[in-house]
Amino acid sequence: MWCSRCQLAWYCSPEHLQNDWPRHRRECMASPSQQPSPMVIQTPPAAPEMMQVSAILFNPSEERPQIININCQLTRRPNSSSCPTPLVSNYFQEAQSASLVLTQGLNGEPLRFPLHIFYCPLSLQRGQPVNRAIYRITSGAAARNWPGPVVVLKFNGSRRQSYTDASTNDLPALSAYFLAFNTSYYPDPSLSILYFFCNIPFASNICITIIAVDNH
């Protein structure tokens, strides 16, 4: 009979195996056929790659702007220069957000880091609820009150390929933009906001660009 473990030692009887075991156990190794197969564990699908940056939230029900964290989904295409997609839908419950890019600040100075402003077009069209945080930073001096929530992200450069952390240092440029806001000039902001800025003298130094956003 063979040793059932290593299948290399032969014994004429069970007694022989038992008597030889104290010696044989030091050299006995399991045969390949007896070794357990490695467990195969399926790897879960990779989660979407994310980055997180600080953004500014102007909540209609709050008196002051807040610094919040926003997740941005990175593109999975190799060698892509596409900007990450900010996941801001939680702050716009009534409608999909629209956005614009502020590229110039006070006195027409180009912004080294343009500001990406997300807003609710539905709130803008109906004119409510008034954003109290924006009302406060403009000291109530805006031509019209900005309605609805606003989330502002900061690009990491003029090429707008990614984002960096926004901070309270960005509030002066935003305040100047909100001071120039006037809903009577553009009931549909996605169509005529540029017309408005070209037709008010004190806003001629503020430059914005409308862009399309796929809001997730």
List the beta bridge partners of residue 73: 50, 85
Confidence of residue 72 (pLDDT cuts 50, 70, 90): very high
Which of 29-33, 91-95, 150-154 is modeled with the greatest confidence?
A: 150-154
What is the C-alpha to C-alpha distance for residues 117 and 120, in angstroms, rounded to an integer? 10
Residue 16 — φ and ψ, nearest 5°?
-60, -45
Residue 38 has pLDDT above 70, yes or no: no
What is the C-alpha to C-alpha distance for residues 116 and 210, in angstroms, rounded to an integer? 10
What is the C-alpha to C-alpha distance for residues 41 and 99, in angstroms, rounded to an integer? 44
Sign (positive or negative) of CA dihedral 188, 103, 171, 215? positive
The string of pLDDT tens digits covering residues 157-207 is 999 999 999 999 999 999 999 988 765 443 343 333 333 333 333 343 444
The string of pLDDT tens digits covering residues 41-71 is 666 666 568 999 999 999 999 999 999 999 9
What is the C-alpha to C-alpha distance for residues 101 and 155, in angstroms, rounded to an integer? 9
Residue 101 has pLDDT above 60, yes or no: yes
Residue 80 has pLDDT above 80, yes or no: no
The string of pLDDT tens digits covering residues 110-162 is 999 999 999 999 998 998 899 999 999 999 998 888 999 999 999 999 999 99
pLDDT at 208: 44
